[in-house]
Amino acid sequence: MRLPVLAATMVAALSAACGANGQNAVPAAGAPLETRPANGADQQPAFPGQTRAPGVRTQTAMAHSVVASGLEHPWGLALLPDGRWLVTERPGRLRIITPEGAVGEPVAGLPAVDARGQGGLLDVAVGPTFGADRLIYWSYAEPREGGNATSVARGRLSDDGTRVENVQVIFRALPVYDGDKHFGSSLAFDGAGHLFITLGERSDAPMRPQAQDLGSHMGKLIRINADGSVPRDNPFAGRAGALPEIWSSGHRNVQGVAVAPDGAVWTMEHGTRGGDELNRPEAGKNYGWPIIAYGVEYRGAPINEGITARDGLEQPVYYWDPVIAPGGMTFYEGAMFPGWRGNLLVAGLKEKHIARLVLENGRVTGEERLMTDLGERVRDVAVAPDGAVWAVTDEQNGKLVRLAAR
């Protein structure tokens, strides 16, 4: 049951009054933040700094406040130009939430979703031309004959925000598979209006090899135009036997994507026991899954041949072992925390925090865990115009949370 606005506001005030900044103790200078034994105990990083970055700490005091609660497994978070938030709930509901915590009724007009397992309504994005056409985009597990697969649709958000109109499915991943795992799927527009879509390889052993198959969308990063057409400069456009929407291949289950200020696309990928990855996927390149990977299978055995590198397959920029189970991600360019500019903020599900990654020359040089005192699975993260960080938690009683300087 959703908390009334007054109650949600009281929760927010109480949370902020606690004064906790959500930061864990920083280790000695230069020491890695992660100290637990790795699951891939005998594996070595391919280059210095690829894992276990030194811990860093923000000097500015901060606190989080719960703005709204009662959301059922919220998944995606996107800011509207008027300061309200679009929030998806995995069972198939899209809501608009005000900065003060007023939660709207479900937006009407969305297509049906397959909400089994990890499926359902997933990410949401505001179109790059929203000011002119009010188009929003969302990804979801679409029920289809013989199973399901990830699809992306767009529609016009009505002037009063109560419904989407003229809904159009602009991308359907293939093949269809009757499963309930690894749908991806995160959305991000680049500065030229291309839409990046992340997809999983559907998890089950028979599907894993499709991450290496250019005739399948499974385990790929997709790049399309805003209307669903294929950009002419996509790396596999016109190549026989390859699907033209593919940007990069060899991914496991990518649930975070963000475009950096310089235009580069970055992604976050779930590993098994170990091997969560930060990648900077480049056109046409292969990121290895399931041929190479860090970590081990859930049951403890090696992944395939147990190798972490092979010629022709790309290395992650950074990996975690043990995993944090990364969700959504965003680059920080706000004014509230000037020392964070250019950093990556990553939602952490399993470890229940926001990871702040310091980037220098394309490498991770520092890591901090934020909002650890909330104690909930953080699914997506975004930055408001004032520089405050907003997040949603993937819980039965999911929350919209604001992290800000005190």
Distance CA 7, CA 347 (A): 26
Q: Which of 154, 201, 213, 196 is nearest to 177 (CA)?
A: 201
Catalytic position from the list 182, 217, 251, 270: 182
CA distances from 237 to 214, 230, 234, 289, 370 (A): 11, 8, 5, 22, 41
CA 224 to chain centre: 18
Tokens representing 15? 């949370």
Active site residue 251: no
Measured between alpha carbons, how far is 32 from 26 in angstroms, rounded to an integer? 9
- The catalytic residues are 182
